[in-house]
Amino acid sequence: MNAIDRLGLLAELENSHCELNHGPGTDNRDFPAVDYIVIPFGYQIDEVQEEAAREMVIPVCAECAEALCGEEWTLLYCFECNSSQWVCRKYAKMRYRHHILWLRGCPDCSYEFGGLYFNEITAFPDDQALFLKAQMKLSAA
């Protein structure tokens, strides 16, 4: 993502709302976005080179951003239908250790599971998923 696209997104931030699930009966307009998660999607050319074909941008509120950086919650996000679900690690049947699990297909949108990908919010190098404001700080330094 180039600097002009980043500035454009930050300019639109005031009118954006969190796109993550906050539970039944909630409206996303009740959760103003404070940042974006930017996830590059692409393919691997060889063992060293990767090509980011596009980037997925998800507005998040302060509560969700805090949960993504903490150790209490894991986000399950389907990038086929853009649905999300939070899992409290303490009460989960499985032991989740990643902050975000990306699903390619979920029970809401498909009968076929297409894969599982994961990210660690706290351990991203510059070319991985990151909060947009953190990317701006890194590029300004």
How large is the C-alpha radius of gyration of the chain?
A: 15
Strands 100-103 and 73-78: parallel
Instruction: Report the pLDDT value the prediction gives residue 61, as an integer from 0 to 100.
Output: 92
pTM of the model: 0.72
Instruction: Report the pLDDT value the prediction gives residue 139, as an integer from 0 to 100.
Output: 47
Q: What are the residue ranges in the chain where pLDDT is below 70?
A: 1, 42-44, 50-53, 118-141
Residue given tokens 């894969």 in the structure block: 115
Contact 119, 79 (CB under 8 A): no
Count other C-beta atoms under 10 Å from residue 112's C-beta: 7
Which neighbouring-strand residues pair with 74? 87
Q: Residue 79 carries which DSSP code?
A: T
Q: In whole angstroms, what is the distance from residue 99 CA to residue 89 CA?
A: 10
Q: In whole angstroms, what is the distance from residue 131 CA to residue 24 CA?
A: 26
Instruction: Report the pLDDT value the prediction gives residue 140, as an integer from 0 to 100.
Output: 45
Instruction: Report the pLDDT value the prediction gives residue 119, as an integer from 0 to 100.
Output: 56
Contact 3, 140 (CB under 8 A): no
Q: In whole angstroms, what is the distance from residue 81 CA to residue 92 CA?
A: 23
Residue type, 136: M
